[in-house]
Chains A and B, each alone.
Chain A
Amino acid sequence: MTEPMHGVGQILLQNQAHVLDAWLARLHDTAPSAQPASLQLLKLELGTLVEKLTAFFLTGEGEGDALKSVEAQAAAISAACARDGLTPMETATLILSLKAIAGDLLNRESGRGTNELDRRRAALDAVVDKLALVTFASFVETREEIIRRQGRALLDLATPALPIWRHIILMPLVGIIDTQRARQVMEWLLEALAREEAHIAILDVTGVPLIDSRVALHLTKTVEAARLLGSQVIVTGISPDAAQTLVKLDVDLSSMITRGTLRAGLAEAFRLLGQNAKGPTETML
Protein backbone atom coordinates (compact mmCIF):
# COMPACT_ATOMS: atom_id res chain seq x y z
CA MET A 1 0.00 0.00 0.00
CA THR A 2 2.91 2.32 0.73
CA GLU A 3 4.19 2.65 -2.82
CA PRO A 4 0.97 3.65 -4.61
CA MET A 5 0.19 6.16 -1.87
CA HIS A 6 3.64 7.64 -2.06
CA GLY A 7 3.23 7.82 -5.83
CA VAL A 8 -0.02 9.70 -5.50
CA GLY A 9 1.64 12.02 -2.99
CA GLN A 10 4.51 12.79 -5.34
CA ILE A 11 2.18 13.55 -8.22
CA LEU A 12 -0.02 15.76 -6.02
CA LEU A 13 3.04 17.57 -4.67
CA GLN A 14 4.24 18.46 -8.15
CA ASN A 15 0.78 19.52 -9.29
CA GLN A 16 -0.75 21.16 -6.21
CA ALA A 17 -1.43 24.43 -7.97
CA HIS A 18 -2.97 22.65 -10.95
CA VAL A 19 -5.27 20.52 -8.77
CA LEU A 20 -6.45 23.51 -6.80
CA ASP A 21 -7.08 25.56 -9.95
CA ALA A 22 -9.04 22.74 -11.56
CA TRP A 23 -11.04 22.28 -8.38
CA LEU A 24 -11.82 25.98 -8.06
CA ALA A 25 -12.77 26.13 -11.74
CA ARG A 26 -15.48 23.59 -11.01
CA LEU A 27 -16.75 25.38 -7.92
CA HIS A 28 -19.35 27.29 -9.86
CA ASP A 29 -20.85 24.05 -11.20
CA THR A 30 -20.55 21.97 -8.04
CA ALA A 31 -21.79 24.64 -5.62
CA PRO A 32 -24.01 27.10 -7.53
CA SER A 33 -25.69 28.42 -4.37
CA ALA A 34 -22.43 29.55 -2.73
CA GLN A 35 -22.24 33.30 -2.15
CA PRO A 36 -19.22 35.27 -3.48
CA ALA A 37 -18.13 36.13 0.09
CA SER A 38 -18.12 32.49 1.16
CA LEU A 39 -16.41 31.44 -2.08
CA GLN A 40 -13.31 33.45 -1.11
CA LEU A 41 -13.07 31.61 2.20
CA LEU A 42 -13.87 28.31 0.54
CA LYS A 43 -10.95 28.76 -1.88
CA LEU A 44 -8.52 29.19 1.02
CA GLU A 45 -9.96 26.18 2.84
CA LEU A 46 -9.76 23.97 -0.26
CA GLY A 47 -6.14 25.04 -0.74
CA THR A 48 -5.35 23.89 2.80
CA LEU A 49 -7.17 20.62 2.15
CA VAL A 50 -5.05 19.92 -0.96
CA GLU A 51 -1.88 20.62 1.04
CA LYS A 52 -2.91 18.35 3.88
CA LEU A 53 -3.99 15.64 1.48
CA THR A 54 -0.62 15.76 -0.26
CA ALA A 55 1.18 15.53 3.06
CA PHE A 56 -0.98 12.57 4.02
CA PHE A 57 -0.21 10.64 0.84
CA LEU A 58 3.50 11.37 1.21
CA THR A 59 3.59 9.77 4.67
CA GLY A 60 2.37 6.62 2.97
CA GLU A 61 0.40 5.49 6.03
CA GLY A 62 -3.25 4.51 5.81
CA GLU A 63 -4.01 5.72 9.32
CA GLY A 64 -2.55 8.20 11.76
CA ASP A 65 -2.31 11.89 12.52
CA ALA A 66 -1.93 12.95 8.88
CA LEU A 67 -5.26 11.32 7.97
CA LYS A 68 -6.92 12.85 11.04
CA SER A 69 -5.66 16.24 9.98
CA VAL A 70 -7.14 15.79 6.49
CA GLU A 71 -10.46 14.65 7.93
CA ALA A 72 -10.56 17.59 10.33
CA GLN A 73 -9.99 19.98 7.43
CA ALA A 74 -12.77 18.30 5.40
CA ALA A 75 -15.09 18.56 8.40
CA ALA A 76 -14.26 22.26 8.77
CA ILE A 77 -15.05 22.87 5.09
CA SER A 78 -18.29 21.00 5.43
CA ALA A 79 -19.31 22.99 8.51
CA ALA A 80 -18.56 26.22 6.66
CA CYS A 81 -20.68 25.02 3.72
CA ALA A 82 -23.56 24.14 6.06
CA ARG A 83 -23.46 27.60 7.65
CA ASP A 84 -23.34 29.30 4.24
CA GLY A 85 -26.48 27.45 3.17
CA LEU A 86 -25.00 25.02 0.67
CA THR A 87 -27.01 21.85 0.24
CA PRO A 88 -25.49 18.57 1.50
CA MET A 89 -25.58 17.44 -2.14
CA GLU A 90 -23.43 20.36 -3.21
CA THR A 91 -21.01 19.84 -0.35
CA ALA A 92 -20.58 16.13 -1.11
CA THR A 93 -20.28 16.81 -4.87
CA LEU A 94 -17.63 19.40 -4.14
CA ILE A 95 -15.48 16.89 -2.24
CA LEU A 96 -16.16 14.03 -4.65
CA SER A 97 -15.20 16.16 -7.67
CA LEU A 98 -11.63 15.89 -6.38
CA LYS A 99 -11.73 12.28 -7.48
CA ALA A 100 -12.20 13.24 -11.14
CA ILE A 101 -9.62 16.02 -11.02
CA ALA A 102 -6.86 14.05 -9.29
CA GLY A 103 -7.85 10.96 -11.26
CA ASP A 104 -7.20 12.74 -14.56
CA LEU A 105 -3.87 13.86 -13.20
CA LEU A 106 -2.91 10.31 -12.18
CA ASN A 107 -3.88 9.00 -15.62
CA ARG A 108 -1.60 11.53 -17.21
CA GLU A 109 1.36 11.21 -14.86
CA SER A 110 1.56 7.47 -14.21
CA GLY A 111 2.36 6.14 -17.63
CA ARG A 112 4.10 3.01 -16.28
CA GLY A 113 1.51 0.38 -17.00
CA THR A 114 -2.05 0.02 -15.85
CA ASN A 115 -1.46 -1.97 -12.65
CA GLU A 116 0.36 0.88 -11.02
CA LEU A 117 -2.30 3.33 -12.16
CA ASP A 118 -5.11 1.14 -10.81
CA ARG A 119 -3.47 0.87 -7.41
CA ARG A 120 -2.89 4.61 -7.24
CA ARG A 121 -6.45 5.40 -8.25
CA ALA A 122 -7.77 2.91 -5.71
CA ALA A 123 -5.71 4.60 -2.98
CA LEU A 124 -7.01 8.01 -4.01
CA ASP A 125 -10.64 6.91 -4.34
CA ALA A 126 -10.62 5.25 -0.92
CA VAL A 127 -9.45 8.45 0.76
CA VAL A 128 -11.76 10.79 -1.14
CA ASP A 129 -14.77 8.54 -0.48
CA LYS A 130 -13.91 8.57 3.19
CA LEU A 131 -13.63 12.34 3.13
CA ALA A 132 -17.05 12.58 1.49
CA LEU A 133 -18.53 10.54 4.33
CA VAL A 134 -16.78 12.66 6.94
CA THR A 135 -18.09 15.74 5.16
CA PHE A 136 -21.63 14.44 5.21
CA ALA A 137 -21.55 13.52 8.90
CA SER A 138 -20.07 16.87 9.77
CA PHE A 139 -22.63 18.70 7.62
CA VAL A 140 -25.53 17.03 9.40
CA GLU A 141 -23.94 17.64 12.79
CA THR A 142 -23.52 21.36 12.06
CA ARG A 143 -27.13 21.73 10.90
CA GLU A 144 -28.37 19.84 13.96
CA GLU A 145 -26.35 22.12 16.20
CA ILE A 146 -27.83 25.20 14.49
CA ILE A 147 -31.34 23.80 14.99
CA ARG A 148 -30.64 22.99 18.64
CA ARG A 149 -29.32 26.48 19.23
CA GLN A 150 -32.31 28.10 17.54
CA GLY A 151 -34.63 25.94 19.61
CA ARG A 152 -32.99 27.09 22.82
CA ALA A 153 -33.04 30.71 21.66
CA LEU A 154 -36.76 30.50 20.86
CA LEU A 155 -37.52 28.97 24.22
CA ASP A 156 -35.74 31.83 25.96
CA LEU A 157 -37.52 34.47 23.89
CA ALA A 158 -40.88 32.93 24.30
CA THR A 159 -42.08 33.80 27.75
CA PRO A 160 -41.15 37.13 29.32
CA ALA A 161 -42.88 37.99 32.60
CA LEU A 162 -43.31 41.76 32.68
CA PRO A 163 -44.08 43.67 35.87
CA ILE A 164 -46.36 46.27 34.26
CA TRP A 165 -47.83 47.80 37.40
CA ARG A 166 -47.37 47.45 41.08
CA HIS A 167 -48.67 43.96 41.95
CA ILE A 168 -49.51 43.15 38.34
CA ILE A 169 -47.48 40.90 36.04
CA LEU A 170 -48.14 40.48 32.33
CA MET A 171 -47.05 37.37 30.49
CA PRO A 172 -47.82 37.43 26.77
CA LEU A 173 -47.75 33.95 25.25
CA VAL A 174 -46.80 33.74 21.60
CA GLY A 175 -46.66 30.60 19.49
CA ILE A 176 -47.30 26.94 20.04
CA ILE A 177 -47.72 25.77 23.64
CA ASP A 178 -46.32 22.27 23.89
CA THR A 179 -45.65 20.41 27.11
CA GLN A 180 -42.19 21.88 27.54
CA ARG A 181 -43.36 25.45 26.93
CA ALA A 182 -46.35 24.96 29.23
CA ARG A 183 -44.11 23.76 32.02
CA GLN A 184 -41.81 26.72 31.49
CA VAL A 185 -44.70 29.20 31.45
CA MET A 186 -45.89 27.91 34.79
CA GLU A 187 -42.41 27.93 36.29
CA TRP A 188 -41.56 31.45 35.14
CA LEU A 189 -44.95 32.87 36.04
CA LEU A 190 -44.85 31.51 39.58
CA GLU A 191 -41.29 32.68 39.99
CA ALA A 192 -42.21 36.18 38.79
CA LEU A 193 -45.28 36.29 41.03
CA ALA A 194 -43.13 35.47 44.06
CA ARG A 195 -40.31 37.81 43.06
CA GLU A 196 -42.51 40.83 42.33
CA GLU A 197 -44.91 40.05 45.17
CA ALA A 198 -47.62 40.36 42.57
CA HIS A 199 -51.27 39.75 43.35
CA ILE A 200 -52.38 39.42 39.78
CA ALA A 201 -50.94 37.83 36.66
CA ILE A 202 -52.37 38.52 33.23
CA LEU A 203 -51.75 35.68 30.77
CA ASP A 204 -52.36 37.00 27.28
CA VAL A 205 -52.93 34.22 24.74
CA THR A 206 -53.59 36.45 21.69
CA GLY A 207 -50.50 34.99 20.04
CA VAL A 208 -51.39 31.34 20.69
CA PRO A 209 -52.79 29.90 17.44
CA LEU A 210 -54.96 27.23 19.01
CA ILE A 211 -56.21 26.27 22.44
CA ASP A 212 -57.06 22.57 22.63
CA SER A 213 -57.82 20.53 25.72
CA ARG A 214 -54.12 20.03 26.35
CA VAL A 215 -53.35 23.76 26.43
CA ALA A 216 -56.52 24.32 28.48
CA LEU A 217 -55.27 21.75 30.98
CA HIS A 218 -51.94 23.55 31.29
CA LEU A 219 -53.70 26.90 31.75
CA THR A 220 -55.92 25.42 34.45
CA LYS A 221 -52.93 24.00 36.30
CA THR A 222 -51.05 27.30 36.10
CA VAL A 223 -54.05 29.20 37.44
CA GLU A 224 -54.44 26.70 40.27
CA ALA A 225 -50.74 26.91 41.21
CA ALA A 226 -50.89 30.72 41.21
CA ARG A 227 -53.95 30.57 43.46
CA LEU A 228 -51.92 28.59 45.98
CA LEU A 229 -49.48 31.52 46.05
CA GLY A 230 -52.39 33.83 46.79
CA SER A 231 -52.42 35.34 43.30
CA GLN A 232 -55.15 35.54 40.71
CA VAL A 233 -54.65 34.89 37.01
CA ILE A 234 -56.59 36.71 34.32
CA VAL A 235 -56.46 35.04 30.90
CA THR A 236 -56.95 37.46 28.03
CA GLY A 237 -57.01 37.33 24.26
CA ILE A 238 -59.08 34.21 23.62
CA SER A 239 -60.35 34.74 20.07
CA PRO A 240 -64.06 34.42 19.16
CA ASP A 241 -63.19 31.33 17.08
CA ALA A 242 -61.36 29.77 20.02
CA ALA A 243 -64.23 30.61 22.39
CA GLN A 244 -66.77 28.77 20.21
CA THR A 245 -64.45 25.81 19.87
CA LEU A 246 -63.76 25.64 23.61
CA VAL A 247 -67.50 25.61 24.34
CA LYS A 248 -67.97 22.65 21.97
CA LEU A 249 -64.99 20.84 23.47
CA ASP A 250 -66.71 21.47 26.82
CA VAL A 251 -63.48 22.48 28.52
CA ASP A 252 -64.15 23.79 32.00
CA LEU A 253 -62.40 27.15 32.28
CA SER A 254 -64.74 28.47 34.96
CA SER A 255 -61.93 28.38 37.52
CA MET A 256 -60.16 31.27 35.79
CA ILE A 257 -61.06 34.85 35.07
CA THR A 258 -61.07 35.45 31.31
CA ARG A 259 -61.42 38.66 29.33
CA GLY A 260 -61.58 39.15 25.58
CA THR A 261 -58.87 41.74 25.30
CA LEU A 262 -55.73 42.66 27.17
CA ARG A 263 -57.29 46.08 27.84
CA ALA A 264 -60.34 44.54 29.50
CA GLY A 265 -58.03 42.23 31.45
CA LEU A 266 -56.03 45.18 32.75
CA ALA A 267 -59.23 46.98 33.78
CA GLU A 268 -60.30 43.83 35.65
CA ALA A 269 -56.90 43.68 37.34
CA PHE A 270 -57.29 47.23 38.62
CA ARG A 271 -60.82 46.49 39.78
CA LEU A 272 -59.58 43.45 41.69
CA LEU A 273 -56.76 45.42 43.29
CA GLY A 274 -59.27 48.13 44.27
CA GLN A 275 -57.82 50.25 47.06
CA ASN A 276 -54.40 48.71 46.58
CA ALA A 277 -54.02 49.91 42.97
CA LYS A 278 -52.02 53.03 43.67
CA GLY A 279 -48.98 53.83 41.59
CA PRO A 280 -47.31 51.82 38.88
CA THR A 281 -44.32 51.18 41.15
CA GLU A 282 -43.46 51.03 44.84
CA THR A 283 -41.58 54.34 44.79
CA MET A 284 -44.54 56.28 43.44
CA LEU A 285 -46.61 55.63 46.55
Chain B
Amino acid sequence: MIPEPDVVSVRVTTEIDVAEARQEARKLALRHGFGTVRAHGLATAVSELAMNLVLHSARGGLIRLTVQDAPEAAVIELVSEDDGPGIPDLGLAMEDGYSTRGGLGCGLPGTRRLVDAFAITSCVGAGTRIVCLVRRP
Protein backbone atom coordinates (compact mmCIF):
# COMPACT_ATOMS: atom_id res chain seq x y z
CA MET B 1 0.00 0.00 0.00
CA ILE B 2 1.35 3.41 -0.95
CA PRO B 3 0.76 5.94 1.84
CA GLU B 4 -0.98 9.23 1.09
CA PRO B 5 1.57 11.90 0.18
CA ASP B 6 1.98 14.73 2.67
CA VAL B 7 1.53 18.00 0.77
CA VAL B 8 2.15 21.59 1.83
CA SER B 9 1.72 24.52 -0.48
CA VAL B 10 2.31 28.19 0.21
CA ARG B 11 1.42 31.06 -2.09
CA VAL B 12 4.31 33.50 -2.01
CA THR B 13 3.87 37.18 -2.82
CA THR B 14 5.64 39.03 0.00
CA GLU B 15 8.62 38.47 2.29
CA ILE B 16 6.39 37.25 5.12
CA ASP B 17 5.26 34.38 2.87
CA VAL B 18 8.92 33.42 2.36
CA ALA B 19 9.34 32.93 6.11
CA GLU B 20 6.09 30.96 6.23
CA ALA B 21 7.17 28.70 3.36
CA ARG B 22 10.55 27.86 4.86
CA GLN B 23 9.08 27.21 8.31
CA GLU B 24 6.60 24.80 6.75
CA ALA B 25 9.41 23.14 4.80
CA ARG B 26 11.53 22.63 7.88
CA LYS B 27 8.61 21.25 9.90
CA LEU B 28 7.70 18.90 7.06
CA ALA B 29 11.23 17.52 6.79
CA LEU B 30 11.56 17.00 10.54
CA ARG B 31 8.13 15.36 10.65
CA HIS B 32 9.29 12.77 8.12
CA GLY B 33 12.50 11.89 9.90
CA PHE B 34 14.97 14.00 7.92
CA GLY B 35 18.05 15.11 9.88
CA THR B 36 18.41 18.71 11.06
CA VAL B 37 21.10 19.44 8.46
CA ARG B 38 18.88 18.16 5.64
CA ALA B 39 15.90 20.07 7.05
CA HIS B 40 17.98 23.22 7.28
CA GLY B 41 19.22 22.72 3.72
CA LEU B 42 15.69 22.22 2.41
CA ALA B 43 14.43 25.26 4.31
CA THR B 44 17.24 27.32 2.79
CA ALA B 45 16.45 26.03 -0.71
CA VAL B 46 12.80 27.00 -0.18
CA SER B 47 13.90 30.39 1.12
CA GLU B 48 16.03 31.04 -1.99
CA LEU B 49 13.32 29.97 -4.45
CA ALA B 50 10.56 31.80 -2.57
CA MET B 51 12.62 34.99 -2.39
CA ASN B 52 13.10 34.74 -6.16
CA LEU B 53 9.30 34.63 -6.52
CA VAL B 54 8.99 37.83 -4.45
CA LEU B 55 11.81 39.64 -6.27
CA HIS B 56 11.18 38.63 -9.87
CA SER B 57 7.53 37.72 -10.30
CA ALA B 58 5.07 40.59 -9.95
CA ARG B 59 2.23 38.28 -8.92
CA GLY B 60 4.43 35.98 -6.83
CA GLY B 61 4.13 32.25 -7.23
CA LEU B 62 3.50 28.94 -5.55
CA ILE B 63 5.83 26.79 -3.46
CA ARG B 64 4.63 23.21 -3.15
CA LEU B 65 6.23 20.46 -1.09
CA THR B 66 5.20 16.83 -1.49
CA VAL B 67 6.57 13.98 0.60
CA GLN B 68 6.59 10.34 -0.42
CA ASP B 69 7.41 8.59 2.83
CA ALA B 70 8.31 4.94 3.14
CA PRO B 71 10.04 3.33 6.14
CA GLU B 72 13.38 2.77 4.38
CA ALA B 73 13.49 5.93 2.26
CA ALA B 74 11.62 9.17 1.77
CA VAL B 75 11.75 11.90 -0.81
CA ILE B 76 10.52 15.49 -0.68
CA GLU B 77 9.63 17.10 -3.96
CA LEU B 78 9.90 20.88 -3.94
CA VAL B 79 8.19 22.73 -6.77
CA SER B 80 8.36 26.48 -7.35
CA GLU B 81 6.06 27.83 -10.02
CA ASP B 82 5.30 31.31 -11.24
CA ASP B 83 3.87 33.12 -14.25
CA GLY B 84 6.48 35.85 -14.06
CA PRO B 85 8.76 37.24 -16.76
CA GLY B 86 10.80 34.03 -17.19
CA ILE B 87 14.58 33.69 -17.44
CA PRO B 88 16.05 34.52 -20.88
CA ASP B 89 19.39 32.75 -20.33
CA LEU B 90 19.16 29.74 -18.00
CA GLY B 91 22.87 28.96 -18.37
CA LEU B 92 23.75 32.43 -17.09
CA ALA B 93 21.19 32.29 -14.28
CA MET B 94 22.68 29.03 -13.03
CA GLU B 95 26.19 30.54 -12.95
CA ASP B 96 27.66 31.49 -9.59
CA GLY B 97 27.83 35.21 -8.99
CA TYR B 98 25.34 36.23 -11.67
CA SER B 99 22.53 38.42 -10.38
CA THR B 100 20.08 40.82 -12.00
CA ARG B 101 18.93 42.37 -8.73
CA GLY B 102 22.16 43.09 -6.88
CA GLY B 103 22.06 39.85 -4.91
CA LEU B 104 25.00 37.57 -4.22
CA GLY B 105 24.11 35.51 -7.28
CA CYS B 106 24.20 32.20 -5.46
CA GLY B 107 20.45 31.61 -5.11
CA LEU B 108 19.83 29.22 -8.00
CA PRO B 109 23.26 27.54 -8.20
CA GLY B 110 23.34 27.30 -4.40
CA THR B 111 19.90 25.73 -4.33
CA ARG B 112 21.05 23.16 -6.88
CA ARG B 113 23.92 22.20 -4.56
CA LEU B 114 21.57 21.93 -1.57
CA VAL B 115 19.24 19.38 -3.16
CA ASP B 116 19.70 15.89 -4.65
CA ALA B 117 18.03 16.63 -7.98
CA PHE B 118 17.27 19.92 -9.66
CA ALA B 119 15.40 20.76 -12.84
CA ILE B 120 14.43 24.16 -14.19
CA THR B 121 12.27 25.13 -17.13
CA SER B 122 11.55 28.72 -18.05
CA CYS B 123 9.70 30.43 -20.82
CA VAL B 124 10.19 34.15 -21.37
CA GLY B 125 6.87 35.90 -20.82
CA ALA B 126 5.14 32.79 -19.48
CA GLY B 127 6.92 31.83 -16.28
CA THR B 128 9.39 29.58 -14.55
CA ARG B 129 9.07 26.15 -12.96
CA ILE B 130 11.71 24.59 -10.75
CA VAL B 131 11.53 21.06 -9.39
CA CYS B 132 13.92 19.78 -6.70
CA LEU B 133 14.17 16.46 -4.89
CA VAL B 134 15.59 15.91 -1.41
CA ARG B 135 16.04 12.29 -0.32
CA ARG B 136 16.29 10.48 2.98
CA PRO B 137 18.64 8.86 3.94
Chain A contacts for B109, CB-based, 8 A: 250
Chain B contacts for A252, CB-based, 8 A: 104
A-B contact pairs, 10 of them (CB 8 A): A209-B23, A210-B44, A217-B103, A241-B40, A245-B114, A249-B44, A249-B48, A249-B106, A250-B110, A251-B106
Chain B contacts for A245, CB-based, 8 A: 37, 40-41, 44, 114
- 15 new A-B contacts at CB < 8 Å, known A176-B19, A241-B39: A178-B18, A178-B19, A209-B23, A212-B51, A214-B47, A214-B48, A240-B37, A242-B40, A245-B41, A245-B114, A248-B114, A251-B104, A251-B106, A251-B110, A252-B104
Total A-B pairs, Cβ < 8 A: 67
Q: Does B121 contact A (CB under 8 A)?
A: no
Bound form: Cα–Cα A240–B43 in Å: 15
Q: Is there an interface contact between B104 and A216, defined as CB atoms closer than 8 Å? A: yes
Q: Does B32 contact A (CB under 8 A)?
A: no
Contacts from A to B (Cβ < 8 Å): 176, 178-179, 209-214, 216-217, 220, 239-242, 244-245, 248-252
Q: Does B2 contact A (CB under 8 A)?
A: no
CB distance from A116 to the nearest CB of B (A): 53
Bound form: Cα–Cα A211–B113 in Å: 16
Bound form: Cα–Cα A124–B113 in Å: 67
Q: Is there an interface contact between A213 and B19, defined as CB atoms closer than 8 Å? A: no
Across chains A and B, which 9 residue pairs bring their CB atoms closest together, nearest first?
A249-B110, A241-B40, A212-B47, A178-B15, A248-B113, A176-B19, A213-B104, A245-B44, A213-B106
Q: Is there an interface contact between A244 and B37, defined as CB atoms closer than 8 Å? A: yes
CB distance from A19 to the nearest CB of B (A): 45
CB distance from A249 to the nearest CB of B (A): 4
Identity of the chain A residue whose Cβ is nearest the Cβ of B41 in the assembled complex: A245
Q: Does B107 contact A (CB under 8 A)?
A: yes
Chain A contacts for B113, CB-based, 8 A: 248-250
Q: A178-B19, A245-B114, A248-B110 are in contact. Are A210 and B104 (CB under 8 A)?
A: no
Chain A contacts for B16, CB-based, 8 A: 178
User: Could you give, for residues 2-42 of chain B, a 1 whenever the CB lies within 8 Å of some chain A CB and a 0 otherwise?
Assistant: 00000000000001101100110010000000001101110
User: Could you give, for residues 86-100 of chain B, a 1 whenever the CB lies within 8 Å of some chain A CB and a 0 otherwise?
Assistant: 000000000010000
Q: Is there an interface contact between A241 and B114, defined as CB atoms closer than 8 Å? A: no
CB distance from A55 to the nearest CB of B (A): 45
Identity of the chain B residue whose Cβ is nearest the Cβ of A181 in the assembled complex: B15
Chain B contacts for A240, CB-based, 8 A: 37
CB distance from A187 to the nearest CB of B (A): 18
Chain B contacts for A210, CB-based, 8 A: 22, 26, 40, 43-44, 47
Checking A211, A216, A220, A249 against B114 with a beta-carbon cut-off of 8 angstroms, the contacting residue is A249
Chain A contacts for B15, CB-based, 8 A: 178-179
Question: Interface centre among A214, A239, A252, by most B CB within 10 Å?
Answer: A214
Checking B22, B37, B110 against A213 with a beta-carbon cut-off of 8 angstroms, the contacting residue is B110
Q: A210-B40, A214-B103 are in contact. Are A250 and B114 (CB under 8 A)?
A: no
